[in-house]
Structure 1
Amino acid sequence: MKAEEKQLVYSLKSPAEKRAAFKLLMDQYQERLYFAIRKILIDHDDTNDAIQECFIKIWNKIDTFNVEASLYTWMYKIAVNQALQQLRKRKNSFKNEQQYTEFLETKISNSTLMDGDEIQKLLQQAILKLPEKQRLVFNMKYYDDLKYEEIAEITDGSIGSLKASYHHAVKKIEEFLKSH
């Protein structure tokens, strides 16, 4: 952990400095965590709900954070777990998996974040077709450029199974893109 990150953590753990330090933490990490969650949930409103819950959990659990660990990895794990919890809630509001997938495909098609980039939309549709674990691993590796060790820490998975999930995800995405 960098010295400035360590100081931020000490400030977060100090009752006198916690509010100001937390604002700094949000300024530094909110956008990155938002997009990590957004890749999982696709929907902007669901993502906003999840990011709020994520920061509440960070606020409440910062005292348990190990200063020697990576702050971003710890927060990323909280964000991913919150996104997955939100995803399960959202899925339960649909009759079946197909209906939920169609809802997400519509969100991708109407997304202003991709600004009309058809290739990006096609890639997102391919990612959406992946099983949840493969989609998660692919996003972490491809978009967030996390190392397998970091992904293993976040997902509590083995490096070997994560490499296999990523490999299978890439193959499925390639097949999808070739057929579209």
Structure 2
Amino acid sequence: MNSTHAEDQEILTLMGEERTLDRGFRKLMDKYQERLYWHIRRMVLSHEDADDILQNTLVKVYRNFTQFEQKSSLFTWLYRIATNETLTFLEKSKKWQTDSVDPAKEHPAIMHLASDEYFDGDHLSLMLEAAILTLPPKQRQVFKLRYYEEMSYQDMSDVLETSEGSLKASYHHAVKKIEEYIKSKST
């Protein structure tokens, strides 16, 4: 049994009992809060939005823990909740709809990212984010999970409830579109 599995088992055991629920939740937050934050942040770009979504995610995890059936790993369940909360936020705010906007024309999300005190990227990083914004939402999500999170296709399949083949195709198309975008802006 590896240490991650053992830690997750301890969290599950603690959260499974009323008297140790809070202690288990603190352990869960210690282990996963930062990873969840950056997963969300890569999808919304704004620190404030990511923080709000993370809080909503953690509240949902706390309130619905008894519904976790352990058919997947704790990590997968948490990422699925964070992903769904983020997609709900994006749909409500319509921040994901960039089809009619060319990120090269100083898209507000890119301008916000460039001025964000938490962003320490260079021009190429900004160009990559602009290229990612041109992707359809599903490709954007798959690209970010694979590229930034270095998530396996199996884990992505569990989180997104999509076949590995579909995810591989989506990632391949995303990479091609990003390459084309960067080449077109670099010449």
For residue 6 of structure 1, report the CA deviation from its aligned partner. 0.7
Q: Quick check: 1:114–1:121 contact (8 Å CA) kept in 2?
A: no
Q: Distance in 1 between matches of 2:64 and 2:165?
A: 30
Q: Distance in 2 between matches of 1:86 and 1:100?
A: 22
For residue 107 of structure 1, report the CA deviation from its aligned partner. 1.6
Indicate the residue corresponding to 1:138 in structure 2.
143
Q: Distance in 2 between matches of 1:100 and 1:59?
A: 40
The equivalent position to 1:19 in structure 2, one of 18, 22, 37, is: 22
Q: Quick check: 1:91–1:100 contact (8 Å CA) kept in 2?
A: no
Gaps of 5+ in 2: none
Q: Distance in 2 between matches of 1:66 and 1:150?
A: 17
Indicate the residue corresponding to 2:11 in structure 1.
8
The equivalent position to 2:68 in structure 1, one of 59, 65, 69, is: 65
SS of the residue aligned with 2:94?
helix
Pairing 1:52–2:90 present = no
Q: Distance in 1 between matches of 2:57 and 2:112?
A: 22
CA RMSD between the two structures: 2.0
SS of the residue aligned with 1:115?
coil
Q: Distance in 2 between matches of 1:22 and 1:69?
A: 18
Q: Bigger shift: 106-115 or 163-172?
A: 106-115
Q: What letter matches 1:12 in structure 2?
A: M
Indicate the residue corresponding to 2:45 in structure 1.
42
Where relative contact order (Cα < 8 A, 6+ residues apart) is larger, the structure is 1
For residue 158 of structure 1, report the CA deviation from its aligned partner. 1.5
For residue 60 of structure 1, report the CA deviation from its aligned partner. 1.2
The TM-score normalised by the length of structure 1 is 0.90
Q: Quick check: 1:123–1:173 contact (8 Å CA) kept in 2?
A: yes
Indicate the residue corresponding to 1:168 in structure 2.
173
Number of residue-to-residue matches in the alignment: 178
Q: Quick check: 1:134–1:165 contact (8 Å CA) kept in 2?
A: yes
For residue 103 of structure 1, report the CA deviation from its aligned partner. 2.3
Q: Residues 7 and 68 (structure 1 numbering): CA distance in 2 closer, same or farther, change over 3 Å?
A: farther
Q: Distance in 2 between matches of 1:115 and 1:172?
A: 24
For residue 10 of structure 1, report the CA deviation from its aligned partner. 1.0
For residue 109 of structure 1, report the CA deviation from its aligned partner. 2.1
Gaps of 5+ in 1: none
SS of the residue aligned with 1:157?
coil
Note the alpha carbon deviations across 1:98-133, whole angstroms, 9 max, x for none. Answer: 469622122222233332511111111111111100
For residue 97 of structure 1, report the CA deviation from its aligned partner. 5.7
Q: Distance in 2 between matches of 1:11 and 1:158?
A: 33
The TM-score normalised by the length of structure 2 is 0.87
For residue 69 of structure 1, report the CA deviation from its aligned partner. 2.6
